[in-house]
Chain A
Amino acid sequence: MKKLLTRLLGVALAIGMCLGAVSCSNTSDKTENNGSDGSFKVGAIYINSQNDTSGYTFAHHNGITKAMDSLGMSTKDDLFIVDNVPEDDEKVKAAIDTLAGKGCNIIFGISFGYINAFDEAAKEYPDIIFSHATGYLSNDTNFNNYFGRIYQARYLAGIAAGYKSVELGNNNVGYVSAWGTEYAETCSGINAFTLGVQSVNPDATVHVYELQTWGDNEKERQAAQILIDTYDCCVIAQHCDSAQPQLVAAEKGVFGCGYNSDMSVDAPDAHLTAPVWNWNVYYQLAIETAKNTPADFMSKVGNYYGGLSEGFVDISPLSDKVPAAASTAIDTAREYMVNGKWDVFSGVALTFDANGACTSEDKALKTNDGQEIVAAGGASVDDGVITGSMNYFVEGVVQEQ
């Protein structure tokens, strides 16, 4: 027994010596490296790894590094990341403590489930700004949330899909969605896409297949197969993480609209366009404000909900599979939304003809079981509905699963 104990003390000694050697060695401190004045540090908490090559974390990491680059900050020295943090309050709290200890001035959390840990941390660390994506909590001084009008981009993608369905003479459009009416985020996406499709092809039906999970490659694949084989869909849109639905569309010789990144890379023969986030637009605003005027962060940035007009959301470049008239139509619709002249969930419907010319008419916004949401000519629903309480499908949506 004594021998074993001493052996373990040996380990302790060994590690202690390494430690001593390491701390004695005279090396340059991290903050003294070039390209950094060390005065402002950015922290980020990711749900996956920053070394991912696609997907949600990848998009955010790209956004943060791009924003820091254009602000002339060093992503090597002034960016601190804790990755693979599950949506578990204790783990998120530990990650926040780590980043706070490193001296971060602003900490971003990209996953919804970080919400309560961020809320508590904002009280505990009043001199650090906390910024939480997709959430709904905030305070008046150092805690905001950020998200965007991705539904606007989905409407534009819907226009492209609508033209494709007209060209193919097939009124069935498919939509692989993580969730359905349970979450306003997925629900508003399906509705906006459908309204976009119908602005070009009023006879079209959008068949929705609900996965009931945010990410599952195999389920995403099966859903797309069912939509094509059973419901004869000619365009497959998606609200899920991987490019599987686009790959299936390519295999089956139909077309598709991806999500999050330009999935023409994955399925060049099938992909039309994808709604995308330009997270760097928000990150640049947030970091710049937090760096220069931290006291005014909540009045200048606040709870951020950017859209097409801020350049925060958009669609990826139209592929050559998209009929030419779509480009004109999309430009018109985008311009309307950028100018604030019109928005998707209002009592005014846009219609595009075969050449892409636009006419607008007053038309009530109705659910697919006939209830009126917005009267003809009425103003758009509140942002709170789009982000929080939308739980119905509009006319033209059929939920298949």
Chain B
Amino acid sequence: MGFHLVRKTDIKIWQIALYYLAGIAVSLILGAVLLTSLEINAVDYYKDMFTAGLIGNRFPAKTIENFFVSFVPLLITSLALALSFKMRFWNIGGEGQFIIGALTSSVIALKCPNMNPFLILLLMVITGMVFSGITGLAIAFLKTKFNTNETLATLMINYIALYVIRFIGDTKADWNFFLREDSVRPKFASFEENARMPYIDIGGYHLQFSVIFTVLIAFGIWFYLKYTKQGYEISVVGDSSKTAKYAGMNVNKIVLRTMFISAAMIGLAGAFTASSSAGVSANITNNVGWTGIIVAWLSKLSIPGIVVASFLISILQYGCRIASASYPSIDSHFADLLQGIILFSVLAADFLANYKIVRRKETDNA
């Protein structure tokens, strides 16, 4: 006696939607039970959460602005990760590549206080992309040359980068130009006005250029994968590198190139974030390197899917945090818990929508 999983073949779209709805409903009910046990009106709480606190907000433009500050890096990182995942190259080094991009671009920002704003932004972006891209390239090189495990290599770079930025943030010294000079305790310096992300003022709402670029990047990646030769090569390598080889493709070259692009894009996200936050910090990644993996897989590596999923997950993260601010007894740990319950339910719903559990017959075991 045993069970096995069978992939459903005839599942309809409306059925999948139903599974998702049910999953979310279950998680919301679970959350409501917890909230009620804390004597909090769950309906009010969810209202705050799903609208990211926009209802009755004194400064709604600020809320939307801050939302985009957290949405932009998640979207770019998820797209970049999907690029390498499509090739079956397991880049789980988003965190590290992000930090490398942010840190190197901040060198430009801090060392060139009088440069033209657009020029400095361009330089920052290029620096962040190049350094992060080279990291990715190095790991891809090790993979192609010595067949090293890229999962481990990218993972380890995460921790190296994290501890480097922590060390810089904690060490007061003459060489350390990353820190403020006017503070006794070590504290990261803020960028001058010229290195901050420019924006368009729409009636009090500041639309940062990074948001516009991110939309363009999403279109670009979608086009790249769907309509270019290189994009086609990526999917062939992902399906089978042997097929790619027989078809006369240079697999190593494709792996190196794609991994460079993937890491460089994450570096770009880091540079954007440093510029729009006007500085770096040990928490600058906001865990996008990890969340990006969830987003990429939740959307099955589809580019339009990633746009939608990263948008929804950003709302979820942001809303959870904002709703918890209204209730003194609710802290951010509870917000994280609720967020986890919802994500887990969605993943479970996705699984149940696509697979069915079948009882194995005795005869099948032989």
Q: Do A89 and B44 touch (CB < 8 A)? A: no
Q: Do B62 and A97 touch (CB < 8 A)? A: yes
Q: In the complex, what's the smallest C-beta–C-beta distance from B32 to chain A, in angstroms?
A: 11
Q: Do B47 and A22 touch (CB < 8 A)? A: yes
Contacts of A22 in B (CB 8 A): 43, 46-47, 50
Contacts of A252 in B (CB 8 A): none
Question: Is B302 among interface residues, defined by CB-CB distance under 8 A?
Answer: yes
Question: Is B246 among interface residues, defined by CB-CB distance under 8 A?
Answer: no
Q: Tell me the A77-119 residues at the B interface (CB within 8 Å).
A: 79-84, 86-91, 94-95, 97-103, 112-113, 115-116
A14-B309 contact, Cβ under 8 Å, with A89-B277, A101-B57, A101-B60: no
Q: Do A11 and B325 touch (CB < 8 A)? A: no
Contacts of B60 in A (CB 8 A): 101
Q: In the complex, what's the smallest C-beta–C-beta distance from A371 to chain B, in angstroms?
A: 22
Contacts of A116 in B (CB 8 A): 180, 187, 190
Nearest to A81 among chain B residues (CB) is: B328
Expressed in whole angstroms, the Cα–Cα distance for A75 and B283 within the complex equals 30
Expressed in whole angstroms, the Cα–Cα distance for A91 and B280 within the complex equals 11
Interface residues of A (CB under 8 A from B): 1, 3-15, 17-19, 22-23, 25, 27-30, 49-51, 65, 75-76, 79-84, 86-91, 94-95, 97-103, 112-113, 115-116, 182-183
Q: In the complex, what's the smallest C-beta–C-beta distance from B166 to chain A, in angstroms?
A: 12
Q: In the complex, what's the smallest C-beta–C-beta distance from A67 to chain B, in angstroms?
A: 13
Expressed in whole angstroms, the Cα–Cα distance for A86 and B21 within the complex equals 35
Nearest to A213 among chain B residues (CB) is: B170
Contacts of B4 in A (CB 8 A): none
Q: Do A4 and B299 touch (CB < 8 A)? A: yes
Among A27, A49, A103, contact of B331 (Cβ-Cβ < 8 Å)? A49
Nearest to B353 among chain A residues (CB) is: A7
Question: Of B12-20, B113-121, B261-269, B358-366, which stretch is located at the interface?
Answer: B12-20
Q: Do A99 and B17 touch (CB < 8 A)? A: no
Q: Do A49 and B187 touch (CB < 8 A)? A: no
Question: Is B279 among interface residues, defined by CB-CB distance under 8 A?
Answer: yes
Q: Do B332 and A101 touch (CB < 8 A)? A: no
Query: Which of A6, A17, A81 has the largest number of chain B CB atoms within 10 A?
Result: A81
Q: What are 11 A-B interface contacts by the 8 Å CB criterion?
A: A3-B13, A4-B305, A7-B16, A11-B24, A22-B46, A23-B51, A28-B41, A81-B331, A101-B58, A102-B325, A116-B180
Among A29, A79, A89, contact of B190 (Cβ-Cβ < 8 Å)? A89
Expressed in whole angstroms, the Cα–Cα distance for A89 and B280 within the complex equals 9
Q: Do B187 and A15 touch (CB < 8 A)? A: no
Contact with A along B257-283 (1 / 0, CB 8 A): 000000000000000000001110111
Q: Do A113 and B66 touch (CB < 8 A)? A: no
Q: Do B300 and A4 touch (CB < 8 A)? A: yes
Expressed in whole angstroms, the Cα–Cα distance for A29 and B25 within the complex equals 23
Contacts of B253 in A (CB 8 A): none
Q: Do A90 and B28 touch (CB < 8 A)? A: no
Q: Do B62 and A100 touch (CB < 8 A)? A: yes
Nearest to B14 among chain A residues (CB) is: A10
Q: Do B305 and A18 touch (CB < 8 A)? A: no
Further contacts, 9 of them, CB under 8 A, given A18-B50, A97-B66, A115-B187: A8-B309, A14-B17, A18-B46, A51-B333, A80-B328, A86-B281, A89-B277, A89-B279, A90-B278
Expressed in whole angstroms, the Cα–Cα distance for A81 and B24 within the complex equals 27
Among B283, B325, B333, B346, contact of A88 (Cβ-Cβ < 8 Å)? B283
Q: Do B283 and A86 touch (CB < 8 A)? A: yes
Question: Is B63 among interface residues, defined by CB-CB distance under 8 A?
Answer: yes
Contact with A along B59-78 (1 / 0, CB 8 A): 11011011001000000000
Expressed in whole angstroms, the Cα–Cα distance for A11 and B353 within the complex equals 13
Question: Is B228 among interface residues, defined by CB-CB distance under 8 A?
Answer: no
Nearest to B39 among chain A residues (CB) is: A76
Q: Do B50 and A19 touch (CB < 8 A)? A: yes
Q: Do A8 and B302 touch (CB < 8 A)? A: yes
If over half of A's interface residues share one DSSP class (helix, strand or loop), that class is named, otherwise mixed; here it is helix
A9-B308 contact, Cβ under 8 Å, with A81-B325, A98-B322: yes
Expressed in whole angstroms, the Cα–Cα distance for A58 and B302 within the complex equals 46
Expressed in whole angstroms, the Cα–Cα distance for A39 and B57 within the complex equals 15
Expressed in whole angstroms, the Cα–Cα distance for A49 and B58 within the complex equals 25
A75-B328 contact, Cβ under 8 Å, with A29-B56, A89-B279, A101-B59: yes
Contacts of B284 in A (CB 8 A): 88, 90
Contacts of A88 in B (CB 8 A): 188, 281-284
Expressed in whole angstroms, the Cα–Cα distance for A3 and B302 within the complex equals 10
Q: Do B63 and A101 touch (CB < 8 A)? A: yes
Question: Is B185 among interface residues, defined by CB-CB distance under 8 A?
Answer: yes
Contacts of A98 in B (CB 8 A): 53, 63, 66, 321-322, 325
Q: In the complex, what's the smallest C-beta–C-beta distance from B137 to chain A, in angstroms?
A: 29
Question: Is B184 among interface residues, defined by CB-CB distance under 8 A?
Answer: yes
Q: In the complex, what's the smallest C-beta–C-beta distance from A21 to chain B, in angstroms?
A: 9
Expressed in whole angstroms, the Cα–Cα distance for A6 and B184 within the complex equals 55
Contacts of B148 in A (CB 8 A): none
Contact with A along B328-355 (1 / 0, CB 8 A): 1101110000000000001000100000
Question: Is B304 among interface residues, defined by CB-CB distance under 8 A?
Answer: yes
Contacts of B28 in A (CB 8 A): 18
Q: Do A100 and B24 touch (CB < 8 A)? A: no
Contacts of B321 in A (CB 8 A): 82, 98
Contacts of B324 in A (CB 8 A): 82-83
Contacts of B298 in A (CB 8 A): 8
Contacts of A51 in B (CB 8 A): 329, 331, 333
Question: Is B200 among interface residues, defined by CB-CB distance under 8 A?
Answer: no
Expressed in whole angstroms, the Cα–Cα distance for A116 and B182 within the complex equals 11
Contacts of B304 in A (CB 8 A): 5, 8
Question: Is B243 among interface residues, defined by CB-CB distance under 8 A?
Answer: no
Q: In the complex, what's the smallest C-beta–C-beta distance from A60 to chain B, in angstroms?
A: 13
Q: Do A7 and B13 touch (CB < 8 A)? A: yes
Expressed in whole angstroms, the Cα–Cα distance for A160 and B183 within the complex equals 36
Q: Do B325 and A84 touch (CB < 8 A)? A: no
Q: Do B281 and A11 touch (CB < 8 A)? A: no
Among A5, A97, A113, contact of B187 (Cβ-Cβ < 8 Å)? A113
Expressed in whole angstroms, the Cα–Cα distance for A10 and B312 within the complex equals 12
Contacts of A80 in B (CB 8 A): 325-326, 328
Question: Is B1 among interface residues, defined by CB-CB distance under 8 A?
Answer: no
Contacts of B58 in A (CB 8 A): 100-103
Expressed in whole angstroms, the Cα–Cα distance for A88 and B261 within the complex equals 29
Contacts of B63 in A (CB 8 A): 97-98, 101
